[in-house]
Homo-oligomer: A and B are copies of this chain.
Amino acid sequence: MTGLVVTVGVAAGGEERDVAAIGRALMAAGVTVAGRFAVEDDEAAVAEALAAGAGVTVIIAGPGSSSGDVVRRAVARLAGVRLVLNERMLAALEERYRRRDRPLPRRAERLALLPQGAMPWFSPDTDPAWMLEASDRVVVVLPRGADIAGIITRHLAPFLASRSTPGHVVLMRTLRTAGVALGDVEERLADWLGRSDDTGATTVTVVPGSPGGDFEVWVRIVARGPGAAESLERVEPQIAEALGDDCYGRDDETLEQVIGRLLRERGLTLSVAESCTGGLLGHRLTEVPGSSAYFERGVLVYSNQAKQDLLGVPEAILRAHGAVSAPCAEAMVRGICAASGNPVGLAVTGIAGPDGGTPQKPVGTVFIGVGVAEDVEARRFQFSGDRSSIKWQSTQMALDMLRRKLQRWSPESPSVQA
């Protein structure tokens, strides 16, 4: 293996999400990420992870000061040096608290105890990171809640570049799909998978983009070596063509962001009516900054009474078909559009379990309704998994149905009056 290899890990209940973010940022900066790890708040475990790590190990210390202590001691032990008061670190910490008009807390002095030879890396709004070079290895310690992107750009990437073999390039592209199962994507790309040994330059893998790969599946294209950019340019369009409409975006673009973009481009606003998803659909849509421009309101209609009060679902439908039915999902869409005045409506009703299933409608039966400018349709799904997973899959399929409908929709449709 050529070039620098980095292991990224987290100690003491820190977030796997951060580890993944650092991994992606490093890949984007052309650095090979050899592995990830997560260890408990225990000095021996941290020391072992550091010893097992690659030439460069990046570790995020959990937010507890005890966790920071554990990491500091483990790094000092690995390097065979003592913990000493780092004056630059102390000054930076004092300055940071002074600017917030707060006294230096007791723990802050402990934060300035670093292994001899450590170098603090400063960041405007967070506790400083620090690094230690010791013989054949480098350890970088990031505080939890760090401005990770900033630290990578200002400190870590330039540092690694200064030590990297010139010409060693790794490029990664992620093509994101929604609405298809992982196995189906694998089958469609069978010719591309596992071929890395033939060419040596480009690897295609299919990875779950969500818990269990539940209808959010990503295709990773990694190109290495001096011809990486050309390889990527050649392979990506072919993979994209094989994925077709199932591919909704690339790299960091989320399904929720794509829906936001489609709504803005078409000048449409959206409201939702959720039963079994209990708010997850609204939560996902409003994770996007600026979503208030197109997400206007939602109702969580857990009871039948709420479905009647807030959406005007006719009692006859509830009696004849039940709340978990296509007619109810359609009535929910029409109801939320009529009540809110928004042209786009999305509705979910189903049985998330573990109770409430029947032979005709077992746990995991979910009806999703989507309407754009009075063109309303509903589909039945049968999901499997636990309550949490069924809720997630329901929102994923609802968002994907909406995405596809919006992509097909054009403002010529006569029924929309902006």
Q: Which A residues lie at the B interface, using CB under 8 A?
A: 12-17, 19, 33-41, 45, 48-49, 52, 62-67, 69, 105, 107, 144-145, 182-183, 186, 193-194, 205-209, 211-213, 272, 274, 277-287, 289-292, 295-303, 305-306, 309-310, 339-340, 352-356, 385, 387-388, 391
The listed residue (B211, B272, B305) touching A17 by CB distance below 8 A is B211
Contacts A16-B16, A207-B41 hold; do A277 and B283 have CB atoms under 8 A apart? yes
Give A260 to B302 CA distance when docked, in angstroms: 15
Most buried by B among A40, A66, A278: A278
Give A375 to B283 CA distance when docked, in angstroms: 28
Tell me whether B297 and A299 are in contact (CB under 8 A): yes
Tell me whether A39 and B36 are in contact (CB under 8 A): yes
Tell me whether B283 and A279 are in contact (CB under 8 A): yes
Give A107 to B45 CA distance when docked, in angstroms: 37
Tell me whether B296 and A303 are in contact (CB under 8 A): yes
Min C-beta distance of A252 to chain B, whole Å: 14
Min C-beta distance of A97 to chain B, whole Å: 13
Residues of B close to A69: CB separation below 8 A = 194
Query: Copies of this chain, how many?
Result: 2
Residues of B close to A144: CB separation below 8 A = 208, 212
Min C-beta distance of A182 to chain B, whole Å: 5
Give A43 to B351 CA distance when docked, in angstroms: 40
Give A205 to B62 CA distance when docked, in angstroms: 12
CB-nearest residue of chain B to A33? B40
Tell me whether A66 and B387 are in contact (CB under 8 A): no
CB-nearest residue of chain B to A65? B186
Tell me whether A292 and B303 are in contact (CB under 8 A): yes
Tell me whether B297 and A301 are in contact (CB under 8 A): yes
User: 6 interchain pairs (CB within 8 A)?
Assistant: A63-B213, A278-B298, A279-B279, A279-B300, A296-B302, A300-B300
Known contacts A295-B302, A297-B302; 17 additional CB pairs below 8 A are A16-B38, A35-B37, A35-B38, A63-B208, A64-B207, A64-B213, A66-B194, A66-B206, A107-B183, A144-B208, A145-B212, A279-B283, A282-B300, A283-B283, A283-B391, A287-B391, A289-B355
Give A355 to B292 CA distance when docked, in angstroms: 11
Give A277 to B298 CA distance when docked, in angstroms: 12
Min C-beta distance of A78 to chain B, whole Å: 15
Residues of B close to A62: CB separation below 8 A = 207-208, 213
Give A36 to B287 CA distance when docked, in angstroms: 29
Give A16 to B36 CA distance when docked, in angstroms: 11
Most buried by B among A302, A354, A388: A302
The listed residue (B37, B107, B282, B292) touching A279 by CB distance below 8 A is B282
Tell me whether B34 and A37 are in contact (CB under 8 A): no
Min C-beta distance of A211 to chain B, whole Å: 5
Residues of B close to A310: CB separation below 8 A = 297, 299, 310
Contacts A183-B107, A385-B145 hold; do A300 and B272 have CB atoms under 8 A apart? yes
Residues of B close to A145: CB separation below 8 A = 212, 385
Tell me whether B41 and A205 are in contact (CB under 8 A): yes
CB-nearest residue of chain B to A389? B145
Give A77 to B295 CA distance when docked, in angstroms: 53
Min C-beta distance of A216 to chain B, whole Å: 11
Q: Which 5 A-B pairs have the closest CB atoms?
A: A279-B282, A278-B286, A279-B279, A298-B300, A297-B306
Give A301 to B290 CA distance when docked, in angstroms: 15
CB-nearest residue of chain B to A296? B303
Give A67 to B205 CA distance when docked, in angstroms: 9
Give A144 to B300 CA distance when docked, in angstroms: 32
